[in-house]
Structure formats: C-alpha cells, structure tokens
Structure 1
Amino acid sequence: MMIYLGKRLGMIAAVLLILMVFLGGLIHLVPGDPVKIIMGPLASDSFAASVRSEMGLDKPIAIQMLDFIFGAVHGDLGKDFVSHRPVTVMIGGVLPHTMILAVTGLGLAILIGLPLGVYSAVHANSAIDKAIASVSITLITLPPYVAGLLLLLTFAVTLAWLPALGAGNFSAPLDYAARLILPSLALALGWIGYLARLTRASMLEILGANYVRTARSFGLSDTRIHYLYALRSAVIPVVAVLGVGLGHLLGGAIFIEVIFGRQGLGTLFYDAIATRNFPVIRGVAVVVATLFVVTNLLADLSYRLLDPRIRVEAKT
C-alpha cells in the first residue's frame, strides 16, 4: 500500500510540476501585453515599464517560471495584476462555493444514477429499462452549459420557481440551498445518465457470476442477492470513475457559475481571462489540477476498502 501511495504521489508531483512550468511561461505564449491591457493604450512607456518591473515581467522567462514554481510550492500564487491582492486569498474566498457546487452535483448523480442503474439491471430488457436507457443516453450527450440554460429558462425565468442568478450567502442557508438547486442539477444531469449506464452494465455482469447463481441455489432472496452481494461488487467500477467525475464536475462548474452568475472559481477564472490577469489564471489552473489529481488518488485508494483482493501495486 505504501509503495503504491509513494508511486502515485511521485506521479502527482511530476504532473503538477509540468503544469506549473507551462503556466509559468503562459504569459509569453498568449498574444497581448497584460500591462497595456490593464493600464490602457494612453499609459506612457516609462510608467508601463515601471509596472512591468514591479510585476516581474522584465525578468528572463526561465526566472519567471522558477519564481512561480517556487512560490506555488510554498503556497504563494502571486498577486492580482489589478487589485494587487494575493491570489491565494482570492481563490480561498470563492473555493468553498465551487466545492459545494461540485460535491452537490456529484451527490445528486450518485443518489439518482445509482438506483436507476440497479433498477435497470434487475429489470433488464423491460419497457422501463429501455426508457431509462433512452433518457440516460440523452443526458450523457447533453452538455452542462446547455442543461444550465434550459433549467434557467424553464424554472427560473418561465415558471419563476427558483432564483435565477447569484449564489447567496452562508448566513442565509435556505436561500443558499435554493440557489444551489438548478446549478447542481445542471452539473449532475450528464453524470446521472453515465452512472446509470455504468451501474447497469456492472450489475448485469455480477448477476451472471457463479457465486450469485450459487446464492440463489441456497434459497437466498433476490432482494438480498441484489442489494447485499451484487451491488457491493458492482459499485467498484462506479467508485473508479467518481474521482474523475469530481474533477470533471469542477471543470464544468466554470461554465455553470458563469451562466448562473455564481461566485466561485468559474467566474474568477472567466473574469481573469477577460482581463488577461495571468496570476489569477495560473492560480486557478493549479488549484483545479491539484484537486483533480487528489480526488483521483482518493478514488484509487478506496478500491482496497471495497475489495481487498484488488492489488493495485501489481498492476502498476
């Protein structure tokens, strides 16, 4: 276990290092001078040069990359070009909203998609199974931002059942929860369909296994076989994709937060791109990438809790 964990941590460190090297040179890969964009075309060259020196943009590219990597390792992601606020403080202020949105979306996907997949497998080839299959495939092909627009227009604009824009405040939990319903559902719809299909396929494979037939021959009830034995084994492939799913949901949250006007990493990233605010862009990218690889690691480690027979070290 410790050997596998060491290997994975080394891979994570290598991936993040490569990403930070790329992000460190990002400002020189994208056309446009961020200083001129921030200060406007009427700023004098001497004043622009002093601002560029203050931002460290007059240093060689290699030095800028090393400064960024060294700072990121020590928790310093730089300062906002516009407000000069630390990027870590800006991200820390909005990260809880994005995490709540992503985790809620994943929770909805599990609570809805998993039972649908189990029911489809238990009632394979029935009319309901075919209906669930059609709906699942439709949801899988529906992009989150399209789902967000449809939900927004239907339930917030046309029916006026739920708030349209904003995330609300933690001091008003009921209002915050109401504003969370539509964004989290838009984020979860695709994964509801995916988890339903994955759970169905895994359950059908398990239900055809020898030990399931043996359990039936001993007179165990179908309910006990389905939900005590088969589901426990069938859920392992589902857990395998949950870490990846949370990472994808964090990425999809960027579009959802912009559509619903929610504060979070998405709106922070979007505004930073609009103003070429590279420290914020790099900081958000590093945080999202770190969350992605960490959630994948946690999903991999959870295999051993569900089935100790899985020897990941031997496969890697």
Structure 2
Amino acid sequence: MIRAIGARVLAAIPVMFGVAIVSFFMIRLVPGDIVNSIMGTEYGDPEVEQRLREYYGVDAPLYEQFFTWFGNVLRGDLGTSYRTGRPVVDEIMVRFPATLELALTALLVSVAIAIPLGVASATRRNGPLDAGSRLISLIGLSIPNFWFGILLITMFSVNRNWFPSGGSNDFSFSWDHFQYLVLPALTLGTSLAAVTMRMTRSSMLEVLSQDYIRTARSKGLSESTVVRRHALRNALIPVITVVGIQAGALLGGTVVVEQVFSWPGLGTLVVQSIGNRDYAMVQGSVLFLAGFYVLVSLIVDIAYLFLDPRLRHRG
C-alpha cells in the first residue's frame, strides 16, 4: 500500500514540472507584455518602457526568467501580481473559495442526476427509460457549456426572472446567496452528469452479467437487494475514478462558465490576468490549479486502492 502511494506521489513531480514549463512559456506566446498592456501600443517612450521592463524583470532572457521564477516557486513563493502588487497566493486565496464552491455544487448536481439515471438505465436495458437516458446524455455531451449557460439565463433570468443572470455576493447559508449558484452549477453539472451517467450504466451492465449476481438472484433475493447490495458497490469503483478526475478538472473547467455568469472565481481571475499580461498571476494560478488536480487524483487513487484490494499489491 505504501509503495503504491509513494509511486503515485513520485509520478506527480514531473507532471508539475511540465505544467510549470508550459504555463511559463505559453503566456509569453501572446503578443505584447505587461509594459505594452500598461502603456498601450500607440504611446511609446523607449526609455520609460525599458525602465518598466527592468522593474518587472521581463527584460532578462526567458530561460533566466524561468529559473528565477521556478526557484521562487520551490521556496513557496508564486510571485507578486504585476497589476495589484499583492502576492499571487493572496489573490488566489481570495478567488479560490468561489471557484471551489461552484465546482463542488456542480459535482453534487452531476452525481445526483447521473447515478440514479445510470442505474435505472442499466436495470431496464433497451427499454424506454434506457433510450431516454442515453439520448439525454448524448445531448449533455454535445451542448457547449457557454451556449447552455446563455440558454438558462434567457429562460430563467430574462424571461421569468427566477434567478439572477450573474454575479454573486458574500457566502452565507441562505437563499440570497445560493440563488446566484443555481444556474452556473446546473450548467456545469449537466455536462458532467452525461459522462458519469454513461460510465455508471456501462459499469452496472458489466457487473450485472457476473456470476455472483446470478448466484444472488438464485438465492431468492429481491432485484432491488441484488442491485443495491451486490451490484452497485462494485459498479461504483470505476465511477469514483471518473468523478474524481472530473472534480480536479472542474476547477480549470469553470473558466468559461465563470465568464458567462460573471462568477468571481479563479477562472475569471486567470482570464483577466491573461488580458493584462500579468505573467506572475497566470503562472501561479495555472500551477495552483494543476497542483489541486494532482492532489485530487492522488486521493482518488488512494481511495481506489482501498476499494479494490487487488491493486494494493501491484505497486
């Protein structure tokens, strides 16, 4: 068990290093830099521009900038925002709770929709419910998040004024806060539910064909008992993996939805920072999201080891 966990931790190291390299160099492929963003393209005083580039440290060769930044990252310093002058970590911690709240709510929505539909679809294979569930999952996979979000805004905000069209307020356990969360969580959760539902159905069909399920039925157990106690537990093992991967990817996947609903999360911060050429903020945010994704994946792998004892001895 310890060797298996250690192997997964070691595998995360090159992943994080690769993310650091990609996030550093990809943002610099965008034309312009922080000095151009501040001064504009029309006004140009070479002396002032040079002083600003020296001040922000973007005048040095790229490899030197990278090793300086990455060396600071290894010491736990993600840098300072070019725009606000505040530490990147502080800016991330201000925005991260909103993104985490949206991601977790969307994940709950997806699980609440997908698992019951997947189980019902598998136990009623080739019936009307199965056909309808597969059609719904296909639609959910096909519709882009930004289009579905705009559709929900039109239906429930513009036409009926049931929910706010965007924005948020300070967190509280009240309807005044959660009404802002309904539409963006549905937008994200619906697409996730499509993937989870298909996996649940596929896994249930495979488990229901096993010999021990036929044995349970031959003992006279009711179908609901067979499904609930014998089939569902084993069928959920691959589903947990999919849900875990989605949980990690959600933090980065909220970028588009946050833009559509003006949600004040980390995704909105990344988009704004790209527009401002705030290199430190973009690099730090992407690295933070990647680290969170790796952490969630590691937790899922460990949970998988507990659920499936056969994997504990493979290393």
Aligned twin of 2:62 = 61
Aligned twin of 2:105 = 104
Contact 1:24 1:68 in 2 (8 A): no
TM-score, length-normalised on structure 2? 0.94
**What amino acid sits opposite 2:15 in the alignment?**
V
Contact 2:167 2:261 in 1 (8 A): yes
In structure 2, distance between residues paired with 1:29 and 1:262: 27
* SS of equivalent to 2:163: coil
**Shift of the alpha carbon at 1:199?**
0.8
Which whole-Å deviations, capped at 9, do the CAs of 1:243-297 have from their partners, x for residues lacking one? 2211332222101111001101111011112222211111111111111111111
**What amino acid sits opposite 1:283 in the alignment?**
G
Aligned twin of 2:9 = 9
In structure 1, distance between residues paired with 2:297 and 2:28: 31
**Shift of the alpha carbon at 1:172?**
6.7
Say if 1:127 and 1:293 are closer, same or farther in 2 by CA, change over 3 A: same
Unaligned runs of 5+ residues in structure 1 are none
**What amino acid sits opposite 1:257 in the alignment?**
E
In structure 1, distance between residues paired with 2:2 and 2:95: 34
**Shift of the alpha carbon at 1:302?**
0.9
Aligned twin of 1:191 = 192
Aligned twin of 2:228 = 227
> Is residue 32 of structure 2 the alignment partner of residue 32 of structure 1?
yes
Aligned twin of 1:164 = 165
The farther-off stretch of 147-156 and 301-310 is 301-310
* SS of equivalent to 1:262: coil
**Shift of the alpha carbon at 1:28?**
4.1
Contact 1:24 1:64 in 2 (8 A): no
Aligned twin of 1:260 = 261
In structure 2, distance between residues paired with 1:150 and 1:181: 14
Aligned twin of 1:290 = 291
Say if 1:24 and 1:136 are closer, same or farther in 2 by CA, change over 3 A: closer
**What amino acid sits opposite 2:181 in the alignment?**
L
TM-score, length-normalised on structure 1? 0.94
> Is residue 77 of structure 2 the alignment partner of residue 76 of structure 1?
yes
Say if 1:23 and 1:110 are closer, same or farther in 2 by CA, change over 3 A: same
Aligned twin of 1:19 = 19
Say if 1:223 and 1:268 are closer, same or farther in 2 by CA, change over 3 A: same
**Shift of the alpha carbon at 1:117?**
0.4
Contact 2:69 2:78 in 1 (8 A): yes
Aligned twin of 1:117 = 118
> Is residue 138 of structure 2 the alignment partner of residue 152 of structure 1?
no
In structure 2, distance between residues paired with 1:236 and 1:256: 29
**Shift of the alpha carbon at 1:310?**
3.0
In structure 2, distance between residues paired with 1:259 and 1:29: 26
Cα root mean square deviation, aligned: 1.6
In structure 2, distance between residues paired with 1:110 and 1:26: 34
* SS of equivalent to 1:309: helix
**Shift of the alpha carbon at 1:62?**
2.1
In structure 2, distance between residues paired with 1:7 and 1:307: 17
**Shift of the alpha carbon at 1:169?**
0.9
**What amino acid sits opposite 1:47 in the alignment?**
V
In structure 2, distance between residues paired with 1:22 and 1:194: 28
Which whole-Å deviations, capped at 9, do the CAs of 1:95-132 have from their partners, x for residues lacking one? 00001111111111111100000011111111111111
**What amino acid sits opposite 1:16 in the alignment?**
M
> Is residue 170 of structure 2 the alignment partner of residue 177 of structure 1?
no
Unaligned runs of 5+ residues in structure 2 are none
In structure 2, distance between residues paired with 1:255 and 1:307: 36
Aligned residues: 314
Which whole-Å deviations, capped at 9, do the CAs of 1:175-198 have from their partners, x for residues lacking one? 221101110110011111221111
